[in-house]
Structure 1
Amino acid sequence: MPSPLPLFQITPAQIDHVVRVFYARIRTHAELGPVFAAHVRDWPAHEARIAAFWRNAILKERCYDGNPMRVHVSRPDIRPDHFPLWLALFHEVLTQELAAETAARWGALADRIGHGLKMGLTSMRQKPDEVPLFL
């Protein structure tokens, strides 16, 4: 059975490149850098895993098997207010490293995923008797 069509045209090498550039910037980011450094011990392995996540999401390669929500919720130092910072930096890298249309399409996908993670993190950390927050 043929693979489903990619969401947009991009190569695995381009995905790997964007992920490498992004995490190089994350490591020097004043607020996000320490959060990532507390959890990432092997940067090349982490970057390979995240690149696989994006190849799975964009190219439908079926090369990622993980649960990003569970990973993020299990780390109390990751806060919902980190996601806008993450997305702003990610958009910056996308627009600097890719053609405008590709950057816009990948950015839109990242926004949807980031919004879902932020909402999930907020919801899963609320006390059962609290009124739900809408972000």
Structure 2
Amino acid sequence: MLIKIVEDVDLNEAYHYLQDPGAGGIDLFVGTVRDHAQGKQVVKLVFEAYAPMALNEMQKLAGAAQQQWPIAKLVMVHAVGEKMVGEPVVIIGVASAHRDAAFTACRFLIDELKKTVPIWKKEYYEDNSVWVNAHP
């Protein structure tokens, strides 16, 4: 498993890590900073995490996914720090023998990460900013 909290997300590292001769399906989700939120223009986001707890929760999610699906390799990487519109913030990747398991496990991991992992974001708009839970 490749599970990290980082300053900069490396898409190539994630994809190369997921390579496995027994995996016929690789699902790679990349979450990026969008240019709007709550009806306002977003200028940038700033992410903070309590890394020890976040990594522990990410490990738990990875273990739960491995118990439910036949996963060959798994990636969960989330960025912290300032991120501009279009920049990658989170990568979830799953390699499995078949695409269905890869898709389903990947969806489970991103959905649960957003619910349980202690990562917060501050949204900067043109006129103000606000701290929000990164996970609705």
Normalised to the residue count of structure 1, the TM-score between the two structures is 0.33
Ranked by relative contact order (alpha carbons within 8 Å, sequence separation 6 or more), the top structure is: 2
Q: Which has the higher strand share?
A: 2
Normalised to the residue count of structure 2, the TM-score between the two structures is 0.33
Q: Which has the higher helix share?
A: 1
